């Protein structure tokens, strides 16, 4: 009992700084502007559709910041399964994701 | 050569069927009723909620993308604790209607055209 409690405590303590770190990253919209170059190929073309499955690549400029951050992390973790987006998200650091989200969400304020 | 032509023809035929399934258009008025009851609390009745940035804007999003996303939540291809519960009771018709409604609302979403450094 005590052993399992201490295991939980150790896990909680170990993961707390990580969670805190991710939450306190500040996105830089200008840096994000340079980092969306690869996004542009699919998300930059009005009416662009995937070859398969056949639906439009979503509009992401003007989207809410935390949603974009969460979505990219979900592609990294496998909670979202789109193969192209998983590959793209894997190449991004937490700071890249914060910067991209800061830039894209800025269009929602205009 | 002939076989190749046949393969290409079959592929094109499949594409036509796939696109007709994806473009099944919903009823925006019926969608609004459903949105009011189920989605509005987080996404806003017009799909422009911004109070909590974890919830996406849906106004003006592509209709077929919203359909796709809702089916992914329903099928478990997207794992989100809140959306799994929201999408589960929706029928295919509900999904088409909700997507038709949100996509028809004016909003701030756009593609990346003209927003890339050094690009156009």
* B112 belongs to a structural domain: no
Distance from CA of B1 to the nearest CA of A (A): 24
Contact yes or no for A37 and B77 at CB 8 A: no
Q: What is the CATH number of the domain that holds B48?
A: 1.10.760.10
Angular region, B100: left φ>0, alpha ψ -120 to 50, beta rest: alpha
Choose among A36, A44, A108: nearest Cβ to B108: A108
For residue B36, name the pLDDT band (cuts at 50, 70, 90). Answer: very high
- At the topology level, CATH places domain A26-109 in Cytochrome Bc1 Complex; Chain D, domain 2 (1.10.760)
CB of B71 closer than 8 Å to CB of B2: no
* B3 belongs to a structural domain: no
Is the CB of B34 inside 8 Å of chain A's CB atoms?
Answer: no
Helix, strand or coil for residue A49?
A: strand
The closest alpha carbon to A45, from B110, B57, B108, belongs to B110
* B71 belongs to a structural domain: yes
* B115 belongs to a structural domain: no
Contacting residues of A for B107, CB less than 8 Å apart:
62
* B44 belongs to a structural domain: yes
CB of B60 closer than 8 Å to CB of A59: yes
Contacts of B68 (CB under 8 A, 6+ apart): A53, A55, B22
CB of A72 closer than 8 Å to CB of A99: no
Give, as one character, the DSSP assignment of residue A59.
Answer: P
Is the CB of B30 inside 8 Å of chain A's CB atoms?
Answer: no
Q: Tell me what pLDDT residue B5 has.
A: 54
Residues B81, A90, A35, A48, CA torsion sign? negative
Condensed to tens digits (0 to 9), the pLDDT of residues B49-67 reads 888 999 999 999 999 999 9
* B69 belongs to a structural domain: yes
Is the CB of B18 inside 8 Å of chain A's CB atoms?
Answer: yes
* B58 belongs to a structural domain: yes
**First vs last C-alpha separation in chain B:** 41
Q: How far apart are CA A65 and CA B50, in angstroms?
A: 10
Provide the number of structural domains found in chain B.
1
Residue A61, beta-bridge partner list: B110
Helix, strand or coil for residue A56?
A: strand
For residue A9, name the pLDDT band (cuts at 50, 70, 90). Answer: low
CB of B58 closer than 8 Å to CB of B101: no
Q: For chain A, what percent of residues have pLDDT higher than 70? A: 79
Contact yes or no for B72 and A81 at CB 8 A: yes
Q: Tell me what pLDDT residue A110 has.
A: 74
Is the CB of B51 inside 8 Å of chain A's CB atoms?
Answer: no
> What separation in angstroms does the CA of B72 have from each of A98, B43, B66, B76, B93?
25, 18, 10, 6, 15
Question: Whole domain around residue B92: which residue ranges?
Answer: 27-103
* B48 belongs to a structural domain: yes
Q: Is the ipTM of this complex over 0.85?
A: no
């Amino acid at each position: 009992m005590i052993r399992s409690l201490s295991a939980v405590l150790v896990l909680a303590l170990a993961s707390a700084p990580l969670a805190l770190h991710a939450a306190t990253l500040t996105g830089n919209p200008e840096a994000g502007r340079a980092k969306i170059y690869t996004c542009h190929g699919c998300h930059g073309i009005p009416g662009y559709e995937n070859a398969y499955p056949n639906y439009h690549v979503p509009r992401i400029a003007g989207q809410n910041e935390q949603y974009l951050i969460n979505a990219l992390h979900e592609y990294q973790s496998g909670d979202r399964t789109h193969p192209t987006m998983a590959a793209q998200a894997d190449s991004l650091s937490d700071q890249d994701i914060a910067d991209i989200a800061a830039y894209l969400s800025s269009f929602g304020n205009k | 050569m002939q076989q190749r032509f046949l393969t290409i023809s079959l592929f094109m035929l499949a594409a036509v069927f796939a696109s007709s399934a994806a473009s099944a258009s919903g009823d925006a008025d019926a969608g609004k009723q459903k949105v009011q009851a189920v989605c509005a609390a987080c996404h806003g009745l017009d799909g422009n909620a911004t109070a909590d940035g974890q919830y996406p804007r849906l106004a003006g999003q592509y209709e077929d993308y919203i359909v796709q996303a809702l089916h992914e939540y329903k099928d478990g291809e997207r794992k989100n604790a809140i959306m799994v519960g929201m999408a589960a009771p929706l029928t295919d018709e509900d999904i088409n209607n909700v997507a038709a409604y949100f996509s028809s609302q004016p909003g701030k979403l756009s593609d990346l055209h003209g927003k890339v450094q050094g690009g156009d």
